[in-house]
Chains A and B, each alone.
Chain A
Amino acid sequence: MFVRLLYESFRRQKRRKLLAGAAVALGVTVTTAMLGVATGIGDKINQELRSTGSNLLVTPKDDTLDVEIGGVSLKPPSDGAYLNEADLPKIKGMFWRNNIVGFTPMLPVNVDIGSTRGSAKTELVGTYFNRQLQFGKEKFTTGVLATHPWWKVAGEFPADGSADVLLGELLAQRFNVHPGDEITLDGKPHRVAGVLSAGGTDDGRAFAPLALAQQLLAKPGAVRRVYVSALTKPEDELARRDPKTMNPQMFDRWYCSPYVQSIAYQLQETIPNSRAEQIRQVAQNEGNILSRIKGLMLLITVAALLASALAVSAAMATAILERRREVGLMKALGAGKIAVAVLFFAESTLLAVIGGTLGFTLGAFLARQIGLSIFNSQITVEPVLFPYVLALAALVTFIGSAAAIRKAIRFDPVHVLRGDA
């Protein structure tokens, strides 16, 4: 009997059920989409923030003091210690390898740059532009393209296997050199592949493939420092603690969180005789900005939840109050309060499940579209959320219906049937 009542109610009042179901579906759609955006935006903004440059710097442990003013090194280039280039691919074997966006080794050499306009002693930096490397079976490319996205080049980046150079725009002006022209390095001719505009001290330097700089310095395999760009989690109390003072459990938790400190620690473990430090200007500020944007979206999601909960409740209440006469009839025929309430709750649960499923699908699609149009990458709503969203939808429809059902049951059947209420 109960099942038949439920079935007939849906069969005979299609329009009304459709309206209530649509309200639930809409509410769940908005909630799901907002949840997707709020949980996904952290990762997306983190990616965008990587365009501020590397957040970690790896240097040799026993390096002598840098003597550098305005980007010009005054230290004799033979002075100090080096890292080994062969150790670098190991970075892709670290625990948090998937969080490493890229790394770029740098090896400064002082050379005589010459053209028809004369010559001058300048700093040439050997580096990776878009170098293909291999760790184990995994192939990957890394270099300034990944870690210095703000660099703009007229012409093109030198190929990593070539002997071409990239000239900073200040140098190019001074020597009146254009992409494709030739300059001499310590007397030997090299092609200028491109002119670099970096908006900083790098505009006064020349860049070349790492192998060329090593050859000029006569130190094969040498690297002076490595810039690492990593996706990190905003710093918290645990992140700031000294790993030496932690107990093993806490250390594991620290080590397995992508804090900039723990990634620095792992870099130090991975590359022998190295010292890895966070570049505070980048690392500290990005954590701040990330948590602000995440917090903002979270609070807005709460607002969205509230608004859609109210919309669903209002729709449910209206749908039930319209059926007072039905309640009156049921009660006149001898149905108890509980029987009536159970029927209505069963109806609203069914609506919540159907509307919720539809809404979740639509919401996931909407989140995906938002991700594609704003961030050019998908935002996936975790399927794990489905039961929670459904439970939430059921709860909201329940609460929305409860007051209306109570009101409908309270009425005297006589008044309702006569149409006085």
Chain B
Amino acid sequence: MIGSPTPRRRSGGSSMFLRMLLRSALVRRGRSLAALLAVVVAAAVATAMMNLYVDAEAKLRHEFRNYGANVVVVANEGEPLPADVLDRITSTLGRDVLAVPFAYAVAHKADGTSVVVAGVDLDRVKRLNSWWSVTAWPTAQNQALVGVRAAAALASNGRPIDLNFEGRQRSLVPVGELRTGAAEDSRIYLSLSDFTQWTGVTPSSVEILVPGSADEVTAAVKRLSTALPTAQVRPVRQIMEAEARVLGKTRSSLYASALLIILTAMLCVLATLTGWVLDRRRDFAIMKALGASERLVSGLFATEAAALGLIGALIGFALGAAVAAWIGRANFHSAVVPRFSLLPAIILGSMAIATLSALLPISLLRRVQPAMILRGE
């Protein structure tokens, strides 16, 4: 049948091949569907796990950004930060970094109590330090955010606080209370423009949130140091080290889980497809009895299995991407975007496993005489 010399008979042979493929899929619909289901589930699980593995780290890194700044620029002692420090930072690191300047001064109340007053860009600090618990943010001029301890010590009870900085008086209206559990609780925060207008003091430190991995942050620190030679640029090690540790461990756990799950799914496909082929040993015997060569029969089963693998992979990929997106939405409140670069790997993997699990039982059957199978022994 195969390798016949005339082109006409060859085309007849290939159309017969296709017809057998189609009929076997349609006639034994239940069994084929069960095999397809196994491939779909395996492909879906593999897709979901790989998508999550790639994306979960980025998602978790995003969570770590909520710890606030990971790079700090501090003025050297006795040397103010250059006036264009913010422009220099954005021109070196790009627009998507969040840089927040902080300016500090010590002011006094009429009774002699000293308090630290800080000037910040309130909109930016709100984005940078999301853990700040604030009752209300200042919106108008001379409104201030007062730390809980400062509020208790100054005993303002909501009345304006009169403060004196080097002879310049200012009356601040406390609109909100700030609670962080750290040094911020003892300070008064107002907008940077109000602050400089009152005290004339310029920012002494800039806290920067650089997105990206540890290497990217380290590179950013290096570039900033060259751009700002008169200031100290330091990474916040406390946060960066914890981030690296937690992300590393989570990645390893995810990897181990993904490996286990994908292995199980593969074995599931192997078991189902082996059963599927063994179930059709009568077809196999009849074909051989009718004179089909071993290669042709193996080819037929392998093609069927590969087609199953392909279709299963396509459906499974769509399903798996949906599952990953759902997990992303449920857990991280932002969808995991499907990675189409994974598709070829999934297709190739499914087809390889499906073909392998079809050929395995064939090689077992090959040793058996067709007559024995047909007699039902």
* Distance in angstroms between the alpha carbons of A45 and B254 in the assembled complex: 13
* Distance in angstroms between the alpha carbons of A374 and B332 in the assembled complex: 23
Q: For chain A, residues 210 to 255, give those with C-beta under 8 angstroms from any C-beta of chain B.
A: none
Residues of B with C-beta under 8 A to A295: 330-331
Contact for B323 among A283, A288, A289, A303, CB less than 8 A: A303
Name which residue of chain A comes closest to B326, CB basis. Answer: A299
CB distance A66 to B186 under 8 Å? yes
Query: Within 8 Å of chain B (Cβ to Cβ): is A322?
Result: yes
* Distance in angstroms between the alpha carbons of A211 and B205 in the assembled complex: 34
Query: Within 8 Å of chain A (Cβ to Cβ): is B38?
Result: yes
Evaluate whether A300 and B274 lie within 8 angstroms (CB atoms) in the complex, with A30-B260, A70-B104, A374-B249 already known: no
Residues of A with C-beta under 8 A to B238: 52-53, 150, 198-200
Name which residue of chain A comes closest to B132, CB basis. Answer: A280
Smallest CB separation, A401 vs chain B (Å): 14
Residues of B with C-beta under 8 A to A67: 106, 114-116, 186
Q: For chain B, residues 108 to 132, give those with C-beta under 8 angstroms from any C-beta of chain A.
A: 113-116, 129, 131-132
Smallest CB separation, B271 vs chain A (Å): 5
Q: For chain B, residues 235 to 276, give those with C-beta under 8 angstroms from any C-beta of chain A.
A: 235-239, 241-242, 245-246, 249-250, 252-254, 256-257, 260-261, 263-265, 267-268, 271-272, 274-275
Contact for A299 among B183, B236, B250, B331, CB less than 8 A: B331
CB distance A307 to B48 under 8 Å? no
Q: For chain B, residues 48 to 73, give those with C-beta under 8 angstroms from any C-beta of chain A.
A: 48-49, 52, 56, 59-60, 63-64, 66-68, 72
Evaluate whether A310 and B332 lie within 8 angstroms (CB atoms) in the complex, with A74-B114, A300-B52, A303-B49 already known: no
CB distance A289 to B60 under 8 Å? yes
Query: Within 8 Å of chain B (Cβ to Cβ): is A34?
Result: yes
Residues of A with C-beta under 8 A to B310: none
CB distance B253 to A280 under 8 Å? no
CB distance A45 to B236 under 8 Å? no
Q: For chain B, residues 274 to 297, give those with C-beta under 8 angstroms from any C-beta of chain A.
A: 274-275, 278-279, 282
CB distance A300 to B254 under 8 Å? yes
* Distance in angstroms between the alpha carbons of A278 and B106 in the assembled complex: 26
B interface majority secondary structure: helix
Smallest CB separation, B272 vs chain A (Å): 4
Query: Within 8 Å of chain B (Cβ to Cβ): is A391?
Result: no
Query: Within 8 Å of chain B (Cβ to Cβ): is A323?
Result: no
Residues of B with C-beta under 8 A to A26: 264, 267
Residues of A with C-beta under 8 A to B52: 296, 300
Evaluate whether A311 and B264 lie within 8 angstroms (CB atoms) in the complex, with A74-B114, A318-B275 already known: yes
Interface centre among A23, A33, A280, A366 (most CB of B within 10 A): A280
CB distance B63 to A288 under 8 Å? yes
Smallest CB separation, B347 vs chain A (Å): 19
Q: For chain B, residues 176 to 192, give those with C-beta under 8 angstroms from any C-beta of chain A.
A: 179-183, 185-186
Smallest CB separation, A102 vs chain B (Å): 15
Query: Within 8 Å of chain A (Cβ to Cβ): is B213?
Result: no
The contact sample of 16 A-B pairs, CB cut-off 8 A, is A27-B264, A30-B263, A48-B242, A56-B181, A70-B104, A203-B234, A285-B131, A288-B66, A295-B331, A296-B331, A297-B253, A299-B331, A300-B254, A307-B265, A315-B271, A321-B275
Which residues on B are within 8 Å of A, measured CB to CB?
34, 38, 41-42, 45, 48-49, 52, 56, 59-60, 63-64, 66-68, 72, 74, 104, 106, 113-116, 129, 131-133, 149-150, 153-154, 179-183, 185-186, 204-205, 234-239, 241-242, 245-246, 249-250, 252-254, 256-257, 260-261, 263-265, 267-268, 271-272, 274-275, 278-279, 282, 323, 327, 330-332, 376
Which residues on A are within 8 Å of B, measured CB to CB?
23, 26-27, 30, 33-34, 37, 41, 44-45, 48-49, 51-53, 56-57, 64-70, 74-75, 149-150, 198-200, 203, 277-285, 288-289, 292-293, 295-297, 299-301, 303-304, 306-308, 310-311, 314-315, 317-318, 321-322, 325, 366, 370, 373-375, 418-419
